[in-house]
Structure 1
Amino acid sequence: MACHSHHYWPDVTLDAVNAYWQDAAEMADSKWDKIFGEKIPAFQRGIASTLNLPDPAQIALAPNTHELIYRLLSAFDLSKPLRILTTDGEFYSFARQLMRLEELSNVEVERIPTEPFDTLPQRFEQALHSGDYQLAYASQVFFDSGVAFPGLLELAARKPEGTEMVIDGYHAFFARPTDLSAIADKVFYTAGSYKYLGAGEGMCFMSIPRNCQLRPLNTGWFAEMAELENRTGGVGFGNDWLRFAGATMDYSPLYKALAVLDLYQQEGITVDSIHAYVLQNQRRFLAAMDAAEHPLLNRDNLIAYDLDNGHGHFFTFRCGSAENAELLQSQLRGKNVLCDRRQQLLRLGFALYHPEEETFARLFCE
Structure 2
Amino acid sequence: MYKHLYQRFLAAHPSELHFACHSHHYWPDCTREAHLQYWDDSCKYVDDKWGYIFSTKVPQAQKLIAANLGLSHPEQIVFAPNTHEFVFRLLSSLNWKKPVRILTTDSEFYSFDRQINRLSELPEFEVVKVPTLPFETFHERFEEALGSANWDMIFFSQVFFNSGLVADISRLAAKAPASAMVVIDGYHAFMAVPTDLSSVQERIFYLAGSYKYAQGGEGACFLYVPTGTRHRPLYTGWFAELSHLSAVGNEVGYPTNALQYAGSTMDFSGVYRLIATLETFKKEGLSAEVIHQVVQRNQKLFLQELSGKPHPLLQGSKVLMTHPEQHGHFLTFELPSTEDTQKLVKELAGKGIKTDSRGNRLRFGFGLYHDEQDVRDLISRL
Q: Same fold (TM over 0.5)?
A: yes
- Please say if 1:347 is aligned against 2:363: yes
CA positional deviation for 1:273: 0.3
Say which SS state the counterpart of residue 354 (structure 2) adopts: coil
- Please say if 1:216 is aligned against 2:198: no
- Please say if 1:312 is aligned against 2:328: yes
CA positional deviation for 1:130: 2.2
1:5 match: 23
- Please say if 1:294 is aligned against 2:336: no
CA positional deviation for 1:359: 3.8
List per-residue Cα deviations over 1:136-188 (Å, max 9, x = no partner). Answer: 00011111111112x23222133211111001001101000000000001000
Quick one: distance in 2 between partners of 1:365 and 1:9? 25
Structure 1 residue corresponding to 2:320, chosen from 297, 300, 303: 303
1:154 match: 171
Q: Which moved more, 1:238-247 or 1:296-305?
A: 296-305
CA positional deviation for 1:321: 1.7
CA positional deviation for 1:361: 5.3
List per-residue Cα deviations over 1:230-261 (Å, max 9, x = no partner). Answer: xx953111221111000000011111111111
Q: Which moved more, 1:267-276 or 1:157-166?
A: 157-166
CA positional deviation for 1:94: 0.8
Say which SS state the counterpart of residue 317 (structure 2) adopts: coil
2:261 match: 244
1:277 match: 294
1:54/1:85 Cα in 2 relative to 1: closer, same or farther (>3 Å)? same
For 2:105, the aligned partner's letter is T
- Please say if 1:46 is aligned against 2:64: yes
Alignment of 1:323-362 (within 5 A): 323-360=339-376, 362=378
CA positional deviation for 1:334: 2.3
Gaps of 5+ in 1: none
For 1:126, the aligned partner's letter is E
Quick one: distance in 1 between partners of 2:128 and 2:60? 39
Q: Which moved more, 1:27-36 or 1:37-46?
A: 27-36
Aligned residues of 2:70 and 2:196 also touching (Cα < 8 A):
yes
Quick one: distance in 1 between partners of 2:242 and 2:378? 54
2:7 match: none
CA positional deviation for 1:212: 0.9
For 2:320, the aligned partner's letter is I
1:257 match: 274
Aligned residues of 1:289 and 1:364 also touching (Cα < 8 A):
no
Alignment of 1:68-217 (within 5 A): 68-149=86-167, 151-217=168-234
1:365/1:219 Cα in 2 relative to 1: closer, same or farther (>3 Å)? closer
Instruction: Give runs of ≥4 in structure 1 deviating > 4 Å.
Output: none
For 2:298, the aligned partner's letter is N
Compute the RMSD of aligned alpha carbons.
Answer: 1.5
List per-residue Cα deviations over 1:64-109 (Å, max 9, x = no partner). Answer: 1110111011011111110000000111121110111111111101
Gaps of 5+ in 2: 1-18
1:60 match: 78
CA positional deviation for 1:360: 3.1
Quick one: distance in 1 between partners of 2:373 and 2:253? 57
The alignment's TM-score, normalised by the length of structure 2, stands at: 0.91
List per-residue Cα deviations over 1:38-79 (Å, max 9, x = no partner). Answer: 000010001110000110011111001110111011011111
Equivalent residues, number: 361
CA positional deviation for 1:335: 2.2
For 1:116, the aligned partner's letter is P
Structure 2 residue corresponding to 1:19, chosen from 24, 37, 41: 37
For 2:374, the aligned partner's letter is E
Aligned residues of 1:285 and 1:361 also touching (Cα < 8 A):
no
CA positional deviation for 1:356: 3.5
Quick one: distance in 1 between partners of 2:378 and 2:118? 44
For 2:70, the aligned partner's letter is N
